Amino acid sequence: MRICQLSSVESAFAFLVPLFHALDADGHEVVAASIMDRDGDTLRHHLGSSYALHRIRVSRRITGRAFSTEILALVRYLRRERFDVVHLHGPLASIQGRIAARIARVPCVVNHVHTTAERLLNRYFADYVVTVNSEDLDFARRTGFARDPDRVVGTPGVGVDTARFAPDPERRAAVRRELGIPADEFVVVFVGRLVTEKGVLELLTAFSDLLADRPAWLLLVGDAAPSERDQSVRARLEQEHRRDPAAAARTLRLGLRTDVPDLLTAADLAVQPSYREGMPVAVLEAMSAGVPLVATDIRGSREALDGGRAGVLVPPRDAPKLSAAVRALAADDRERTRLAAAGRARVEDHFAIPHALAPLMSLYRRIEASTPRHRFSLRARLRPLVRRVVPTALRGPATGTPRWRLAVEHTADPLSPVGPVRRPVFSDDELARLGITMVADPFAIQRDGIWHLFFEQVRHGQGRGEIGLATSDDLVDWRYHGVVLREDFHLSYPQVLADGDEILMVPESCADGNGTVRLYRAVDFPHTWELDRVLLRGRPFKDSTVLRHEGLYYLFTEISERHTHDRLDLFVAPSIRGPWEPHPSNPIVLDDASISRPAGRVIEVGGRLVRLAQACHRSYGDGVWGRPIRTLTSEEYRETPEEVRLYPSQGVGGTGHHIDSHRVPGGWVRFVDTHE
């Protein structure tokens, strides 16, 4: 995919470097777009020469131009560049970017939220919302920041490089000598933009009070960019320093620095008195470097400091309490040592780069998997909306009920299209004589030279499915054995599999009133089955498909609430009996009815796994796609961009929505359902 990371703040890209590298490693083209108010030097410093850097014209101030000509310029830029994904960072630029991306018809818009405002903009102008702290995540999901709560993705900040930001006692003395600070004097450090909302003025008051107790130094690491809305702090700094020459003499204004880890090693205490934050990187970096911290009790900082267990929290805009906290910690060596260790452990366990990258990479892999690679008609694009808005009872069928059949096909390549020459399992006359009006979802297993074919069947005058059985020793002549599994509710999709010495079945059973996935065990194969246990419950799990891979069990299942066939989830377990846990990459596919609903067991071809998916974007049962799986572990899931059309839409001899493939001597045999 071609991805644009867009922010009006160049320094923000310092925190996006791991994401750029991870996306690049996944094979995506990533572009950085910013206003480049430092002529791109900051961007080049952070990202190097490996990525394209684009200059855009967006503001950091709310003006009439920001919501007129600048948005139009963004529209032209996005149309010209034809990105697959635009990922927005920062408040005003993200507003402009969301509006422009929608006008430019960018396929996918991701907004990185750093404020709990803008609910409607996120809901209607962004496809996914990313939050950086748990409070924002809960708020965004509870208040409808997205039309589906699963489109709100939580990350623990932007991630900290714990190897780079690490305690380094040996470096401490050298850095102090370079700065001209005596080894035995107390050092307070602040890292951030020199603006009012970062609490700089309160910090100056606290530092002046600290000087009344002991000799100390204040390191101000940061600056205010020319495009910054608030340029007043510089003047206030000069004013305060004229009032307090002693504090001025011991305050080092270091500006923007690239050696922040070194500067942190020289500090005894970090102070970050912001008024508002998303997840403050400066706080996390100080904690990672083993520097005890005083921060304000606001969202983000509160979570980082574990509610005050890994640092001291004070109310925002409260200079006296900030001063008291700084003076108390300066006088307590033992508490500073405890907080330094607690902060370092907190970052390693929750906020290191791998923790922050994992949900973002899962999101991008979900976006990639959900990106259609074929064009849909207007009717196909509107159908999911109709399914969501119009009650099922009022819709009615668009066409007459098709005639469903079961057939067997031999092939050399299981990924080749299903051909027109298929040997039927039952003729239409046989089905009529048996009183069966519909058969579908064939699953086969071979035991002692006999093929046992299990399938959904619906008998005349009944509205629910049952599981039927037919057997054959030559795949030509089939003997019908009747119903082998029935319940008081609809059953279908009877995946049958061997697990050790047991023969098990996982049919679709979500119509039982509890929304379950049930496991049945053969007590007298193939005719007698009993319920072994319920594997999952509480959702409309449809066409659940089990796969054993590298010692673990995986279960693919479609769980759209209103039968829109457009959401695929994955579960993982150490045993087929569980416990089953949601995969971290869920949902695997969202809002794409062409590749969400399973269409048969996962097969291995040429050393790679291939997932089969029903094409339901035009109508139910309109073909089958093969989706090769690139990565499948308990922590990661990714499919390749390629797709294989196995069952063409309305091909010669009709189409279908299910294929069960088995390797046999000389090739493969496929059991398919078909309808015209």
Compute the half-sphere exposure of residue 104: CA atoms within 13 Å on the CB side of its CA. 26
Token pair belonging to 192: 């951030």
Q: How far apart are CA 198 and CA 272, in angstroms?
A: 7
Q: Which stretches of the chain score pLDDT less than 70?
A: 37-40, 59-60, 114-118, 226-228, 371-402, 421, 621, 649-654, 676
Written as six digits, the tokens of 424 are 């039927």
Q: Which CATH code of 3.40.640.10, 3.40.50.2000, 3.90.209.20, 3.20.10.10 fits the domain covering 2-159+356-369? A: 3.40.50.2000
Write phi, then psi, for 392 (nearest 5 degrees).
-55, -40
Whole-angstrom distance, CA of residue 167 vs CA of residue 597: 50
Q: Which SS3 state, helix, strand or coil, does residue 597 take? A: coil
Q: Which residues contact 368 (CB under 8 A, 6 or more apart)?
A: 1, 638, 639, 641
Quick: pLDDT tens for 474-488: 999 999 999 999 999
394 burial (CB, 10 Å; 0-12 / 13-18 / 19+) is exposed
CB 188 within 8 A of CB 223: no
| Residue whose pair of structure tokens reads 């959401």 in the numeric block | 567
The CATH architecture that domain 169-351 belongs to is 3-Layer(aba) Sandwich (3.40)
Q: How many CB atoms lie within 10 A of CB 621?
A: 23
CATH 3.40.50.2000 location in the chain: 2-159+356-369, 169-351
Judge if the upstream peptide bond of residue 587 is cis by omega within 30 degrees of 0: yes
Q: Given strand 2-7, what is the order of strands in its sheet? A: 52-55, 29-34, 2-7, 85-89, 108-112, 128-131, 152-154
Looking up tokens 């499948």 gives: 632
Confidence (pLDDT) at 20: 94
Tokens of 496: 């049958």
Assigned CATH for 378-675: 2.115.10.20
Residue 361 exposure: Cα atoms within 13 Å on the Cβ side: 23
CB-CB contact of 559 with 349 (8 Å): no
Closest of 671, 187, 639, 633 to residue 440, by C-alpha: 671
The DSSP annotation for 509-524 comes to EGGGTT-EEEEEEEEE
- Six token digits for residue 378: 């207007």
Q: What is the pLDDT of residues 618-644, one digit of tens each?
A: 777 678 999 999 999 999 999 987 888
Task: Output the CA–CA distances (angstroms, integers) from residue 475 to 43, 426, 594, 601, 671, in the order listed.
Answer: 65, 12, 31, 19, 10
Decide: 63 and 69 in contact? Cβ < 8 Å.
Answer: no
What is the distance between the alpha carbons of residues 276 and 198, in angstroms, rounded to a whole number? Answer: 8
Facing residues of 631 across strands?
A: 638
Alpha carbons 290 and 166: distance in angstroms, whole number: 7
Instruction: Specify the 3-state DSSP secondary structure of 98.
Output: helix
369: how many CB neighbours lie within 10 A of its CB?
Answer: 24
Of the CA atoms within 13 Å of residue 2, those in its CB half-sphere come to 11
Contacts 24+ apart (CB under 8 A), 508-512: 508/541, 508/542, 508/543, 508/544, 510/539, 510/540, 510/541, 510/542, 511/464, 512/487
Number of neighbours of residue 162 by Cβ within 10 angstroms: 19
The pTM of the full predicted model, rounded to 2 decimals, is 0.71
Whole-number Å distance between alpha carbons of 508 and 467: 10
For the chain, give percent helix, strand, coil, nearest 5: 30, 30, 40
